[in-house]
């Protein structure tokens, strides 16, 4: 198997993993935050932040790295436009994470805050939609390669 195909497959797997994870977080996990209760909330939020990082950080890094590597190791049959769209969506996810969701979690780790919680849940739709769009993009890439 050639290196560009390995990069593509790593990109597809990491993206589709994150698509599933972000939908679970958006629909199941974040909505449960306001049911934890004041007494246990700080500890819950601390554990959430620590534990989710072990899952999300490596996969997000693989996704980012492989999205960029596809520019330098093109795969026959994949239009560069798809690669650029994919990178743009990764950048959107990272910016949303750094500028919107992380600050909400930083507030919530000090105690439940209704407005920070509401902003977290609502702003997380940016990542949910962006990762879903990336899922469509990488699936399209894979289909084009398989059709060759």
Dist. CA 126–CA 133, nearest whole Å: 11
The pLDDT of residue 1 is above 80: no
Average pLDDT, rounded, for the chain? 96
| pLDDT tops 80 at residue 14 | yes
Give the C-alpha separation, 92 to 98, whole Å. Answer: 10
Residues 6+ apart with CB under 8 A from 138: 8, 11, 12, 15, 16, 86
DSSP symbol at 76: T
Q: Read off the tokens for 45.
A: 């939020």
pLDDT digits (tens, 9 = 90+) for 51-101: 999 999 999 999 999 999 999 999 999 999 999 999 999 999 999 999 999
- What pLDDT digit, counting tens, does each position of 112-146 carry? 999 999 999 999 999 999 999 999 999 999 999 99
DSSP string, 9-60: HHHHHHHHHHHHHHHHIIIIIHHHGGGS-HHHHHHHHHHHHHHHHHHHHHHH
- For residue range 15-64, list pLDDT tens digits in order: 999 999 999 999 999 999 989 888 889 999 999 999 999 999 999 999 99
Q: Which residue has the tokens 């590597």?
A: 69
Model confidence band, residue 111 (pLDDT cutoffs 50, 70, 90): very high
Domain total of the chain: 1
What domain range includes position 16? 3-146
User: What pLDDT, on the 0 to 100 scale, is given for residue 34?
Assistant: 87
Which residues 6+ apart lie within 8 Å of 67 measured at CB?
11, 83, 86, 87, 90
Share of the chain above pLDDT 70, in %: 99
């Amino acid at each position: 198997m050639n290196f560009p195909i390995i990069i593509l497959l790593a990109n597809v797997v990491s993206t589709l993993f994150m698509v599933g994870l972000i939908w679970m977080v958006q629909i199941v996990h974040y909505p449960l935050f306001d049911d934890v209760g004041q007494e246990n909330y700080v500890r819950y939020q601390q554990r959430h932040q620590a534990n989710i990082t072990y899952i999300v950080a490596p996969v997000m890094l693989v996704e980012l790295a492989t999205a960029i590597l596809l520019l330098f190791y093109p795969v026959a049959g994949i239009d560069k436009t798809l690669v650029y769209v994919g990178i743009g969506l990764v950048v959107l996810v990272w910016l949303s994470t750094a500028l919107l969701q992380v600050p909400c979690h930083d507030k919530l780790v000090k105690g439940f805050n209704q407005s920070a919680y509401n902003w977290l849940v609502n702003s997380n739709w940016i990542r949910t939609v962006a990762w879903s769009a990336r899922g469509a993009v990488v699936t399209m890439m894979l289909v084009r390669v398989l059709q060759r």
